Structures are given as structure tokens and as C-alpha cells.
Amino acid sequence: MKVLITAVATAALLGVLAAPAPVFADEDCDNVTKALEEGVAISLKDFETTMADLKKTMAEPADDKKKAAVKNTFCSASGEFLGFSRAARAVAQVCAGNQRSALAAFDKSIKEMETAIDNTCK
């Protein structure tokens, strides 16, 4: 599941960022898109690091307290990445215009992340 979230989110974010020239090719969108690309890289690296740490932690025997801590860390990191994905989708819609296929890929990715998070974190 962790790998799925990372792969889906990465594919959607990179797909939209690599879309054809934005409809609003002004300096503001260029600046926001550049900052977004940097933010995606940082957020993704942080998410992957957290998931690797959790994998190591769960490789050892776990009591209920440890399992709860791992679940909370996973839910927090996933929620943060989901929030970033939603923000990136909003920027993509404004700066890239209504490119339905790119936005649909984003929406699908976000929905898959929401489902995975809901199934784990409720």
C-alpha cells in the first residue's frame, strides 16, 4: 500500500508538471510551478524516508503501543502528502488550464490516496 501511494502520487504529480506549456504562461505560474516542483521533490523524499523508517520499525516485534505509533506516523505522513497533492492539483488547473486528461489523472491519484488512507487511518 505504501508503495502504491508513492507511485500513484509521483506519477500524477510528474504527469501534470510535465504537461504541455501552461495556458497562463506568465511569470507567476512559472514561479509557482518551479516552487511546486521543488516542494514535490521535498515532500516525496520526506514521505519515502518516513515509509522506509516505518518499514524498519515494523520489521521488529511490535506491541499495541508501537503499532499505534506506526499507524499514526503513516497517517500523518500520508495526510500531509495528500494535502500537497491537492494543492498541486489546484495549481495545475489554474496554470495548465483545463487539460482534462492531466486533471483526471490527478483526481484519480488523489482518490486512490484518500481510499488507502481511509482504509488504514479510520
Instruction: Give the separation between CA 109 and CA 28, rounded to whole angstroms.
Output: 26
Host domain of residue 47: 2-121
Count the domains in the chain: 1
Q: Which three cell numbers stand for residue 97?
A: 488550464
- Confidence band, pLDDT 50/70/90 cuts, at residue 4: very low
CATH number of the domain residue 64 falls in: 1.20.120
Per-residue cell: 107:
483526481
The residue to which cell 491519484 is assigned: 109
Query: Is the per-residue pLDDT at 2 higher than 70?
Result: no
Sign of CA dihedral 62, 64, 69, 73: positive
pLDDT in tens, 48-104: 999 899 888 888 888 889 889 989 998 998 888 888 888 888 888 887 766 777 788
Phi (first) and psi of residue 121, to 5 degrees = -100, 0
Kind and range of the H or E run holding 57:
helix 27-59
In three-state secondary structure terms, 61 is coil
Query: What confidence category does residue 20 fall into, taking pLDDT thresholds of 50, 70 and 90?
Result: very low
